[in-house]
Amino acid sequence: MRRAALAAVSLCFASAAAQAHTVIAGIGGFPGGLLHPLLVPAHALALIALGFLAGTVSRPMQIMLMTVFAGAAVASFGLIAMAYSTTQAETLVLLLGAATGLLLAANITPPFPFAAILAAAISSAVIFDSVPQVLTVSETASALTGTALSATALAAAAAIVAGALPQHAGTIAIRIAGSWIAASAIMVLALRLSA
Amino acid sequence: MKRLAAIALLTLAVATPAAAHTGEDLAGGFAGGFMHPLLGPDHIAAMLAVGLWGAFLGAPAIFILPVVFPLVMAAGGVLGILGVPLPGIEIGIAGSALVLGLMVALAARPHLVVAAALVGAFAIFHGHAHGTELPDGADALAYALGFVIATGLLHLAGIGFGWLTQYPGGRMAVRAAGGAIAIAGLVFLGRLI
């Protein structure tokens, strides 16, 4: 009976942890990782905001920013493999999304080093906040690979859209979108910090 | 030990995964937030007035006001979330329809800073009202995004109607719409007092 009780208690913990980070129940691994940045609003907003910001700079700088973004994702992957973790990644994603949204709303294009740091920070925060709570290393690796790919693709797509918009109307649309992203992120940040 | 096993099994039966990061409530959260400004006639009237006034004032007010409003609204939302009391919220919201409607009806053309400050001041009340109803949990951002986008679309609807100011007859139509919003604001205020 003692063994049964212990087994039941361990199952209680295991059952909650196994699905704690699945965006859609039943979809894990690489497909789950691919969907993660698209279906977690905080991630999607931060990535779209970064993409819009990248869309305001020249094409070579856009490519460099995306390279920094992808590089930071790989570096974060390495850190996670070395068992580094953080519980504040979601807050950081919201904070960076809000900051990027404010830059867009104010129509400020930061100097490249600042934009590169921002891109690296968003990339790392998204990856650290996407670590699936699964039991196997291979599943974690495939999920994070999917997350890194779709996060880079989403930011790049937003940059392409922003770059393709007409000059004046595009600037206005991006400023308004930036204010929406910043406003949403600021309120949820307040909610998280007040909890 | 039997009791421990029973409790553990019961907990196992009712245990649900931690919902901090699931996508299940996403659509519901967004829909709830999106409908929040659309179900309040006072919110609708004030937001349309912001758009109308922006269109009436022309560039750069036409896009500065819709950028200022959500950002200041977020500040008001933070006050609501943190539980900071703000007196006369409903009066402020109804008053925003009255005052902003009057600005359009009277074709007021203050300096951009004054217009932005006026719109921003009223945004605090709207944000506080939304912020106090912001749900905790995974769908909070979807909810916040929903009501921010609905607010923005109401601004755009006002701006769209405000394009009529380019035509001689349209200018009068826009001012008349401002007058109608001001009257609606007066009615909202009358109900509160």
Per-residue burial over A165-176, b if 16 or more Cβ lie within 10 Å, else e, is: eeeeebbbbbbb
B24, B63, B149 member nearest A172 (Cβ): B63
pLDDT tens per residue across span A54-105: 998 888 999 999 999 999 999 998 888 887 877 788 899 999 999 999 999 9
pLDDT of residue A3: 55
**A74 lies in some domain:** yes
Contact criterion met (CB below 8 Å) for A9 and B9: no
**A1 lies in some domain:** no
Contact criterion met (CB below 8 Å) for B52 and B158: yes
**A136 lies in some domain:** yes
**A3 lies in some domain:** no
**CB within 8 Å: B23 and A21:** no
Q: Is the pLDDT of residue A178 over 90?
A: yes
Per-residue pLDDT band for A14 (boundaries 50, 70, 90) equals very low
- The owner of tokens 């109401």 is B154
Contact criterion met (CB below 8 Å) for A45 and A177: no
**Range of A114-123, B40-49, B141-150 with top mean pLDDT:** A114-123
Amino acid symbol at B77: G
Q: Find, among A152, A162, A42, the residue nearest to A97 by Cα.
A: A42
CA atoms of A162 and A109, how far apart (whole Å): 13
> Of A117-131, B7-21, B28-42, where does mean pLDDT reach its minimum?
B7-21
**CB within 8 Å: A20 and B18:** yes
How many folded domains does chain A comprise? 1
**A4 lies in some domain:** no
Q: Taking residues B42-62, report their average pLDDT.
A: 90
CA atoms of B179 and B134, how far apart (whole Å): 32
Burial of A136 per CB tally in 10 Å (0-12, 13-18, 19+)? exposed
**A58 lies in some domain:** yes
What mean pLDDT, rounded, does chain A reach?
84
Cα A13 to its chain centre, rounded Å, is: 27
> Of A79-88, A152-161, B63-72, B131-140, where does mean pLDDT reach its minimum?
B131-140
**A7 lies in some domain:** no
Q: Is the pLDDT of residue B4 over 80?
A: no
Burial of B86 per CB tally in 10 Å (0-12, 13-18, 19+)? middle
Per-residue burial over B88-116, b if 16 or more Cβ lie within 10 Å, else e, is: ebeebbbbbbbbbbbbbbeebeeeeeebb
Q: Is the pLDDT of residue A6 over 60?
A: no
Q: Which two tokens stand for residue B29?
A: 């959260």
Per-residue pLDDT band for B99 (boundaries 50, 70, 90) equals very high
pLDDT tens per residue across span A123-156: 999 999 988 876 688 888 889 999 999 999 999 9
Contact criterion met (CB below 8 Å) for B128 and B88: no
Q: Which of residues 48-107 of A touch B (CB under 8 A)?
A: 90, 94, 102, 105
Domain that holds residue A110: 28-194
Q: Which of residues 17-36 of A touch B (CB under 8 A)?
A: 18-25, 35
Is this prediction's ipTM beyond 0.90? no
The pTM for the full model equals: 0.80
Q: Is the pLDDT of residue A19 over 70?
A: no
**A20 lies in some domain:** no
**CB within 8 Å: A182 and B20:** no
Chain A touched by B81 (CB under 8 Å) = yes
